[in-house]
Structure 1
Amino acid sequence: MNYKMALFLCCAVFFASCGSKKNSIITKKPAVKKTVVISHKETHIDTQEKLEATSFVVVTFENVEEYITWFKGIAKQSMINYKIPASITLAQGILESGAGKGELCKKANNHFGIKCHLGWEGDKVFHDDDESQECFRKYNNPADSYKDHSLFLTSRSRYNFLFDIKEGDYEAWANGLKQAGYATDPKYPLKLIHIIEKYKLYIFDDEVLGYSRSNKVVREVSKTASDSEYEVIKGDTLYSISKKLSISLENLMKKNNISDPMLSVGQILKIK
């Protein structure tokens, strides 16, 4: 074997060895495992809430929870200073502002859909509501809107009777606001009560008043006249009855020809 042949064989062996090592590294490379973790908070992201008052928006559970976190403190302080239930203040803020996502809220910091009304000397914007391009109050920041909401309710005689309601009775307040003419929507009280009960806003009333209603789980036992009827008991609302009996709110109202959400203890409702 001459010198050139020997050198050629050595090079061939060297490159073959390198190639085998490279292949062995690739085949022995460990697989990467991917772990997906879904937190409890994330399970609410796809849960949507339709809010329609001065704006119509579709928001997530997380959007509403974030709004509550931002404004629960000022709502509780309003309850201390002005005797307006924190649950009502928050529910109105969530509904009227679209949990802060509505057009009127974004362009005017107006969280409660309060219109200009006679005597308003502050800034204003125009926004479609019951009529085209109505005049609404504009605020420098949300805190001013919350304060004006309290002053609006406490300075007008048509709302005086609300302050005779037992503290913490958000259902009576919701119905009273409609009765006093705060909103023209006949379902306004039901919308407020739905928001309060879904997001447990009554807890903030309890914190101010210093008691707990056990998350409204303990109720009197209802008597039913038959399988097709339901007798209203203390604490019932149309919304809570619809959930208890697994019937849609719209069907319950239609079967009973109800337009006014006010219920009376002992009232018999058709459920079938």
Structure 2
Amino acid sequence: MDASEQTAFIKLLGEPVQKDYTRTHILPSLVIAQGILESGWGTSELTKSSNNLFGRRGTYNGKSVQRIDTEIGKEGERNDVVVTYRKYPTIAESIKDHIESLLTSEIKVNGKPVKRYQRVMDAKTYKDGALALKASGYAADIDYPQKLITIIEKYNLHEWDKIKFINHTVKHGDTVYRLASKYGTTAAQIKSWNQLNQNYTIFVGQKLRVK
């Protein structure tokens, strides 16, 4: 894969994750690096046969593919097993499903369900995020965090973590609906970004995120 193809692949993963960051709080660099590492830049057999970038098992909307994989047993023995993997109609849906899985996976702590990857969502740097993925049980490979960090730094993927917001200082005559129209978004989105009340109440001098 040449440099231009790598750039296109990075953009393919980075754009949707960055766009959705304010909802997910998952750093784009982490997901891009995961996709690169786990799919071999999109060249793996699993990616080619099912658009499955992240090796997610099971079925997706009833679709799957089966592969014979080698797994290591408790005594260190190697066993060939048939594994069912999700088959996606598009790469975009593979990315979306991966993100949703990180957001919704739960474990029980003291009998109560908690978000399994909460530490990943709380991470403010790609290094913390990579370590959080391993600590949360995402991968068995003890070198997994360092592999992600190496990829992120080699390809400057941390640049995707610089989320740029546009803020607006409320003036006389402003309403949430007028601001939504001005900045090409929706009133509901501005309400969500700024945790406004049900009446969309704003006041002069208030700083709002509008994009």
**Alignment partner of 1:173 out of 124, 129, 133:** 129
**One-letter code aligned to 2:119:** F
**Larger Rg over CA atoms:** 1
Partner of 2:150: 194
**Alignment partner of 2:84 out of 135, 141, 147:** 135
Greater relative contact order (Cα < 8 A, sep 6+): 2
**Alignment partner of 1:162 out of 120, 131, 140:** 120
Partner of 1:93: 35
Partners in 1 of 2:120 and 2:165 — Cα distance? 17
TM-superposed deviation, 1:96: 1.1
Contact 1:196-1:202 at 8 Å conserved across structures? yes
Structure 1 stretches lacking a partner, 5+ long: 1-58, 211-272
Give the TM-score normalised by structure 1: 0.50
Compared CA separation, residues 126 and 202, structure 1 to 2 (3 A): same
Residue pairs, 1:143-158, within 5 angstroms: 143-157=92-106, 158=116
**Alignment partner of 2:62 out of 112, 116, 122:** 122
Aligned-pair identity in percent equals: 37
Instruction: Please list the CA deviations of residues 115-144 of structure 1 after superposition, one character each: whole Å capped at 9, or x if unmatched.
Output: 228xx6631112344533322111110111
Q: Secondary structure at the match of 1:75?
A: helix
Structure 2 stretches lacking a partner, 5+ long: 72-80, 107-115, 167-211
Partner of 2:8: 66
Partner of 1:104: 46
Contact 1:91-1:195 at 8 Å conserved across structures? yes
TM-superposed deviation, 1:160: 2.1
Contact 1:94-1:100 at 8 Å conserved across structures? yes
Q: Quote the RMSD (CA, aligned, Å).
A: 2.2
Instruction: Please list the CA deviations of residues 98-120 of structure 1 after superposition, one character each: whole Å capped at 9, or x if unmatched.
Output: 11111111111111111228xx6
Contact 1:63-1:99 at 8 Å conserved across structures? no
Q: Which has the higher strand share?
A: 2
Compared CA separation, residues 208 and 146, structure 1 to 2 (3 A): farther
Partner of 1:265: none
Partners in 2 of 1:67 and 1:184 — Cα distance? 26
Instruction: Please list the CA deviations of residues 137-194 of structure 1 after superposition, one character each: whole Å capped at 9, or x if unmatched.
Output: 11110111111111100101221232232x3x11111111111111111111111101
